[in-house]
Amino acid sequence: MLDASPIRNDWTREQAEAIYNQPFMDLLFQAQTVHRQNFDPNQVQKSKLLSIKTGGCAEDCAYCSQSARNGAQLSASKLIEVERVISQARKAKEGGATRYCMGAAWRSPKDRDMAALEAMVKGVKDLGMETCMTLGMLDEEQVFRLRDSGLDYYNHNIDTSERYYSEIITTRTFADRIDTLNRVREAGIKVCAGGIVGMGEQQMDRIDMMLALATLEEHPDSVPVNMLIPIPDTPLADVEQLDPIEFVRTVALARILMPKTHVRLSAGRTDMSDEMQAMCFFAGANSIFVGDTLLTADNPEEDKDTALFARLGISAMALGCDGSR
């Protein structure tokens, strides 16, 4: 087994492969050891998502219910009102969420939307919550405007390996994604970047995706690991289901390569047993999305997560306790 190591941005493919492919018990033990060196293993952070603009997206992401180019029958909405966002955020806070993530089905925001987006960030921040947005690609001015209105985190996923990227999305490149991530980080907004597994990729793609994140100039503050939710009428609707152990290996690799990062067990929990989720927490996941809807897809009901936390003796991470970086 490789030694638990300090923060490194120079991981090699060989090292990542060796970590990923070691016997499962050794991998879990290493991941849990790194986890305990950096976090309270019995605390999990709760974020809540809200879709502020749904459907009709110009991009062709093969997994997504919101692409206008996919066959999924989701009608396009307009950007929702600022007041509605703030009242939903208030409810999420009452339910124990500390971070509020607002997502829009855009390739990138239009300048005419910026004032409303800024007001959303300010309003949610005034509730005492951490703010996060995911709006697609951003130019420098948009990054500065969001930062100046108080945006704490920006979510922008690389989704898969550079090699597999063009099989999944053709309307933008892997490099476009990295450009936005660099702009966000350079402006001082914390980066949330992860991806999806179970899209028919090879093991090497899962390893390379985590390697790409772990060799960015700085590790992302949060890495969401999504299990594909197959959406009817999208190109990935019938993709073969991934072995769950491969998913856990991917979570463990994220934890070991990026010791101080919040690894979020994101989409796909509805189809995971309590035991599978417990294994992901043991492998170093320490954040989830709560509430019965993600952006458009189902997520476990609040009661189910409360029962899961009680079963496992897990408590919700308080605001500020996750600021370990």
> Contact residues for ligand SAM (CB under 6 A)?
63-64, 103, 105-106, 134, 136, 156-157, 159, 196, 226, 228-229, 231, 267, 295
| Rounded (5°) CA angle 276-215-269 | 20
Binding mask 3-32 for ligand DTB (x = CB under 6 A): ------------------------------
Choose the one of ligand SF4, ligand SAM, ligand DTB, none that binds residue 156, judging by a C-beta under 5 to 8 angstroms depending on kind.
ligand SAM
Task: Tell the smallest beta-carbon distance from residue 70 to ligand DTB (Å).
Answer: 11
**Annotated catalytic residue: which of 183, 185, 192, 280?**
192
Contact status: 70 vs ligand DTB (CB under 6 A): no
Per CB under 6 A, which of residues 119..158 are in contact with ligand DTB? 134, 155, 157
- Check if 177 is active-site: no
Q: How far is CA 24 from its chain centroid?
A: 24
Task: Tell the smallest beta-carbon distance from residue 278 to ligand SF4 (Å).
Answer: 29
Q: Please, which residues have CB within 8 angstroms of residue 23's CB and are 6 or more apart in sequence?
A: none
Contact status: 226 vs ligand DTB (CB under 6 A): yes
Task: Determine which residue in the list 18, 297, 307, 318 makes contact with ligand DTB, applying CB under 6 A.
Answer: 297
Task: Determine which residue in the list 103, 136, 259, 300 makes contact with ligand DTB, applying CB under 6 A.
Answer: 103
Is-contact 209 253, C-beta < 8 A?
no
Is-contact 172 107, C-beta < 8 A?
yes
Q: Please, which residues have CB within 8 angstroms of residue 229's CB and are 6 or more apart in sequence?
A: 63, 267, 268, 270, 271, 294, 297
Nearest to 190 by CA among 171, 169, 149, 218: 218
Distance CA 251, CA 177 (A): 21
* Part of the chain binding ligand SF4 (CB under 6 A), chosen from 55-63, 74-82, 222-230, 303-311: 55-63
Task: Tell the smallest beta-carbon distance from residue 65 to ligand SAM (Å).
Answer: 6
- Check if 321 is active-site: no
- Check if 132 is active-site: yes
**Annotated catalytic residue: which of 172, 177, 249, 264?**
264
Nearer to ligand DTB among residue 38 and residue 65 (C-beta): 65
- Check if 280 is active-site: no
241: DSSP letter: P
Task: Tell the smallest beta-carbon distance from residue 76 to ligand SAM (Å).
Answer: 13
Contact status: 113 vs ligand SF4 (CB under 6 A): no
Query: In angstroms, what CA-CA distances link 324 with 98, 220, 222?
Result: 15, 13, 12
Tokens of 105: 């089905």
Distance CA 137, CA 13 (A): 28
Neighbours of 18 (CB within 10 A): 12
Q: Which residues are catalytic, by number?
A: 57, 61, 64, 101, 132, 192, 264
